[in-house]
Amino acid sequence: MKLCSVLTVLFWLLSVTILPAQSDLQFEHLSVEDGLSQSTVLSIGQDKEGFMWFGTEYGLNKYDGYSFKVFQANPKASAYTLNHLIRDIYEDRRGRLWVGANGLNLLNKRTDTFKAFLVDSTRFTYLNICLAILEDEQGRLWFSAGGGLNRFDPITKAFTTYRSPQLVANLGLARDHSGTFWMGAGSELYQFNPKTEEFTLVPVEQALHPFPSISALEIDQSGRLWIGTNGGGLFQLDTRHKPARIVSYNPGEQVNKEISNNGIIEDRSGYLWLATTQGLQRIDPKNNQVSTYRTDPAVPGSLSSNQVYSVYQDRDGTLWVGTDNGINKAVTYTQPFHPHWVTYTTPATRLDENKINAVVEEEDGTVWLGTEKGFYHFNPLSNKFRPISLRVNHSQTRPTSEKDGISVRVIQKDKQSRLWVGTSLGLHLYEPTTSHFTFYPYQSPFKFLINAGLAMDKDGKMWLPGRNDLTGNGVMAMFDPEQRQYRYQEYDLNDSHGLKDGYTMGVAADQVGNIWVATGPWGISRMDQKTGKFTYYLPNAEEGGSLKENDVWSIYADQKGIIWAGTNQGGLQRLDPETGAFTTFTTHDGLPSNHVISITEDAEGNLWLGTNNGLSHFNLATKTFRNFHTDDGLPHHDFRRSVYSRNGRLFFGTDNGYVDFHPDSIQDEAVARPYTLLA
C-alpha cells in the first residue's frame, strides 16, 4: 500500500482506564505473510505519530495499521546505517526515534533514513552493542552494552563510557525516582550513581545463591524493581528501602523460569507483563495472581507461539506481543471487564455449563459457580474449571429424579463462611476439604424453584419463598444454618396478608429485618418477620408515585434502606419504604433496556444493573446511566439473576459465562489519541 500523505489529528475521546482481561485476550496475528521482514520480534515501540515499530533479527519494521515498511542494513552503502539485529526501540521526549542495534541509530523522519552513532569506530566492538535505551532529565541517552553503560549527548554527539565491573552483556536497564540506574551484569545486579559515576554491587543473600543470569529489569509505579532472569524466574527489590534486598517472587509457583531480554513491562493499570519462553504472563502484584497465555491451535485468537521475546502497551492500551512466529495484538482498551467461560464459546452459543446462576468468590481468589449443568470450582491462577458432583451419602433419602449435572441456582456463604448450594430439591452443605455434601431436602409437598435465590438476614438465617405443590398456597421457608433445620409458614390463597404467589422472581433482606419478595402478578411484597404478615405494593393508575408494573424480576435493598426493583418491561423502580413512594427509571432516562434482571451496589453507593441488553452503571448523584455491551468485553448481553460482591469487586452471571470487575478500574477520562489518516 502506498502512503501518499500522513496527517496526524489529535482529538479528545472518552476513554476507559481498564484492567486487562484475565482469560479472554483475543490476539490478532501479523506475520511475514503480512510483510513483516522476519518472524522473530525482539523489540517494539511507538512513535508520537502513532506508527508502531518492530525490531526483528533481520530488520526494522514500521507499521501503519495496514502494511509494513522494512528498513534493513545495506552492506554496499558507503556509510553505515543500520544493523539487521534490532534490540531496542526508544522515542525521546523531543519525538526522535532511536534504534538500538550496533550503536545508537537515529531516524530522519523526513527521509526515512537512519544515521548511526558508534561508541567505537570499530563497528562490531562489544561497547557498540546497544541492549536497552533510557533518557535522563537533561535529554541525554543512556544505553547498556557489552561490558558497560554508555551515555550519549545528542547535542555534542559525544559518548561517555562507564565500564562495568563484569565484562559481560549488561542485560536489563532501569532508572529509579532518584536518578540511580540499575543494571544487570550476568548474575550480578549493580547500581550506578550518575553523580559519583560509580557502580555498587547489590548483595544477594546466601539463600538465593547461585543467582541466575539477569535478563530484564523494570521499576514499577511504587518503586519496586522487578528482576527477570534466565532460569530463575522473577525477583523483586524495593528501591526506596536501604539496604537493597533481593526477594524471590513466585506466587503459586506460577511464574515461568525463563524471562526474555528486556521482557518485563508495567502497564498503566499497574499489571506486569512478562515475555517468557513458555508464553505471555500477566501478574497482578496487589493480589499476587498470575495469568498465563499460551498458544492453543484449538482456541481461535490464542498466541501464535509460546516463545515470547517482547511485549509493549501502546498509548491506546493495545497490547503488542513479539514472538518467534510474528506479532500478536490484543485490543485491551475496549475490554474493561474480565469474562470467564466454563467452556469457551462465542456469544451466539449458549451452553448449559456457561449459564451462570450463582457465583461466589473465596478469600484466596478462587470462585464457586452454580450453572444449569452443575457446580464448578474455578482457579484463576491455573485458569481451570473443576466440576464437582452433587452426590451425597447413599444413606440419605434422594429423589430418583435428580441426576448428576443438576441445575445449581444458589450458592450462599453463611456467617461461619460455610458454603451452601441450593437446587430445586434442597440445600447442600459443602465441605471443600473433603468434597463432601450434606443434603437438607425440602419438606414435601413444598416446592422451592429458588429462581429468586435466597435472602440471608442480619441474623444469618436464610429465607426462601415457594409454594405448596398440592394446594397452590404460598410458602415461606426459613432455614437456620446453626440448627440445620427448616421452619415453614404456609399462607392460604385468600389471605390478604399472605404470600400470594409461590413462583417468585426475587427475594432480599433489608437491614432492619424485613424480607422483600418480587413476584410476577403481585408486584412487590414486604414480610414482617415478627408477624409473618405481608404488605403489598402494586401498580395504581390513579397514583403517580406507585409501582409501574407488577411483573417484578429482581429486588435489592441498598445500604441506605432504599428498595430497588427490576421489572420485566417497566424499567428500574425505586421505593422509599418510609413514604411508600416509587420513582421510575426507563430507557428514556438512559437504561439500555427496561428488562432489569439483576441489581447490586458498589462501594460508592451506585448501582450496577444486569439487563437483557448488557450491563448498566447508575450514578445516584447525577441520575445518569452508563451502559456496557459485548464490545466492552462482556461475555454476553443477556444477564441472569446471579450477582455477587466481595471487597469492592463485582461478579455478574450471564447466559454465556460470568464477568468480574472492580468499579474503580472503570473510569472516564479524556485522553488525546493520535490518529493517522492515510490518503
- CA angle, corner 383, sides to 382 and 388, nearest 5? 95
Coil vs helix vs strand at 352: helix
Residue 383: CB atoms within 10 A of its CB come to 15
pLDDT band at 281 (very low <50, low <70, confident <90, very high): very high
pLDDT at 221: 84
pTM of the model: 0.56
Residue 382: CB atoms within 10 A of its CB come to 14
What digits encode the pLDDT tens for the residues 90-141?
A: 999 888 999 998 889 999 988 888 898 998 776 557 788 888 999 999 999 9
Comparison of pLDDT for 375 and 335, the residue scoring more: 375
* Cβ contact 214:201 at 8 Å: no
Task: Give the chain's mean pLDDT.
Answer: 86
What digits encode the pLDDT tens for the residues 286-324?
A: 889 999 999 998 888 999 999 999 999 987 778 999 999
pLDDT band at 672 (very low <50, low <70, confident <90, very high): very low
Instruction: Quickly list DSSP for 250-271.
Output: -GGG-S-SBEEEEEEEE-TTS-
Instruction: Tell me the C-alpha to C-alpha distance, in Å, between residue 149 and each of 264, 344, 391.
Output: 20, 48, 65
CA atoms of 441 and 425, how far apart (whole Å)? 6
Cell of 662: 472492580
What digits encode the pLDDT tens for the residues 603-630?
A: 899 999 999 999 999 999 999 999 998 8
CA atoms of 306 and 279, how far apart (whole Å)? 4
CA atoms of 679 and 668, how far apart (whole Å)? 32
CA atoms of 376 and 670, how far apart (whole Å)? 41
pLDDT at 23: 43
pLDDT at 396: 45
Residue 360 pLDDT exceeds 90? yes
CA atoms of 225 and 81, how far apart (whole Å)? 35
* Cβ contact 475:462 at 8 Å: no
Coil vs helix vs strand at 353: helix
pLDDT at 14: 26
CA atoms of 194 and 391, how far apart (whole Å)? 68
Main-chain phi, psi angles of 54, to 5 degrees? -130, 125
CA-closest candidate to residue 263, choices 282, 286, 245: 282
Residue 74 pLDDT exceeds 90? no
Main-chain phi, psi angles of 56, to 5 degrees? -120, -175
pLDDT at 272: 96
Cell of 94: 523531543
pLDDT at 42: 96
Q: Report helix, strand and coil shares of the chain as percent, to nearest 5.
A: 5, 50, 50
pLDDT at 404: 41
CA atoms of 464 and 447, how far apart (whole Å)? 10
* Cβ contact 268:317 at 8 Å: yes
Task: Give the residue-averaged pLDDT of 250-271.
Answer: 93
Instruction: Tell me the C-alpha to C-alpha distance, in Å, between residue 46 and each of 1, 39, 95, 329.
Output: 20, 19, 10, 14
CA atoms of 114 and 112, how far apart (whole Å)? 7
Residue 400 pLDDT exceeds 70? no
CA atoms of 2 and 502, how far apart (whole Å)? 69
Q: Identify the weakest region by mean pLDDT among 535-544, 551-560, 623-632.
A: 535-544
Q: Where are the beta strands (DSSP E) in 22-147?
A: 27-30, 41-46, 52-56, 59-63, 68-71, 88-91, 97-101, 103-108, 113-117, 132-135, 141-145
* Cβ contact 233:259 at 8 Å: yes
- The segment with the largest mean pLDDT, out of 170-174, 593-597, 640-644, is 593-597
pLDDT at 338: 82
Cell 558508534 -> residue: 118
* Cβ contact 190:165 at 8 Å: yes
